[in-house]
Amino acid sequence: MLFIGLTGSIATGKSTVSSILSAPPYSLPVIDADVLARKVVEPGTKGYAAIVKYFLPTTPDLLVPASEDMPEDGPEGKGRPLDRAALGRRIFGASEERVRDRGVLNGIVHPAVRGEMYRAILASYLKGHWAVVLDVPLLFEAGMDRICGVVMVVGVSDPEIQMKRLMERDKHLSKEDAENRVKSQGDVRVKLKRCAARGPGNGIVVLNDGNKDELRERIASAVGELEGANPRWWAWVLLACPPLALVCGAWRYWQNGKINERWRAQEKDALAKL
């Protein structure tokens, strides 16, 4: 089974690509890290408890306010849900404090999300799917690219397009909030460059500067190439022979490690020339 690592940055169209891939004619299973990230911090989970313990003392509005419809101890007595907007204001930004707190949050959420993702991957494998999409905003940063057969990065060539789309989509955000959210996910152009550096068959760059029809055409072309290189019968072979699937997965993990080493060497050389 082919692991397609889908990533990008906020307001570049990654979610649109994800929805296209999950619908006919592709109908690929999509494992969305953002959905899982919300699941692992629901009241009553270990993630929720850890976040409340660290952030609540200095973030009074961390939890949804109590009201007639929201009891003080939450609907089921497990606690009030997190106020995601308040948490976002706390962690998004480039200051040392916000970078540190974002690291703390990621340290709580990422391991739990990985566990959920691996369970969902196993379920897709057992169902005989030829490919599965791992929709992970911080794919490179979390090291999830190491397990992917191919990485697909959705981006835009002009940062102004990204900012315009974000402000139009999330009208409640101030310009400063929008800029902080964009910066917190890194420069998407760097992700595009890193994806291209993976080489043919390992990285797919999807520029989403135009309309949805143009995006659909690019996705159709990309999926056609993937299906040609990863025929469906191969997924059935791997399902019938789990040891072979493990060997192939280990080989891909090693290959991706070498790809990342080359990328780091290229970046080091580029910085040395500045």
Are residues 268 and 133 part of one domain? Answer: yes
Select from 76, 108, 128 the last residue of a domain: 128
Q: State the CATH number of the domain containing residue 22.
A: 3.40.50.300
Select from 91, 107, 128 the last residue of a domain: 128
Are residues 237 and 136 part of one domain? Answer: yes
Beta strands in the chain (DSSP E): 2-8, 30-32, 131-135, 150-155, 203-207
How far apart CA 268 and CA 231 sit, in angstroms, is 37
Please provide residue 39's backbone torsions phi and psi, each rounded to the nearest 5 degrees. -65, -40
Are residues 217 and 138 part of one domain? Answer: yes
How far apart CA 235 and CA 227 sit, in angstroms, is 11
pLDDT per residue as tens digits for the range 186-202:
788 899 999 999 998 89
Are residues 265 and 168 part of one domain? Answer: yes
pLDDT (0 to 100) of residue 219: 95
Are residues 100 and 17 part of one domain? Answer: no
Are residues 195 and 242 part of one domain? Answer: yes
pLDDT (0 to 100) of residue 175: 82
Cβ-count burial of 149 within 10 angstroms (0-12 exposed, 13-18 middle, 19+ buried)? buried
Are residues 117 and 160 part of one domain? Answer: no
Are residues 10 and 53 part of one domain? Answer: no
More confident residue, 6 or 271: 6
Query: 33 with 148: CB under 8 angstroms?
Result: no
**What pTM was estimated for this model as a whole?**
0.86
Are residues 156 and 104 part of one domain? Answer: no
Are residues 66 and 47 part of one domain? Answer: yes
For residue 112, the enclosing domain spans 36-128
Select from 128, 144, 164 the last residue of a domain: 128
Average pLDDT over residues 25-29: 95
Are residues 116 and 138 part of one domain? Answer: no
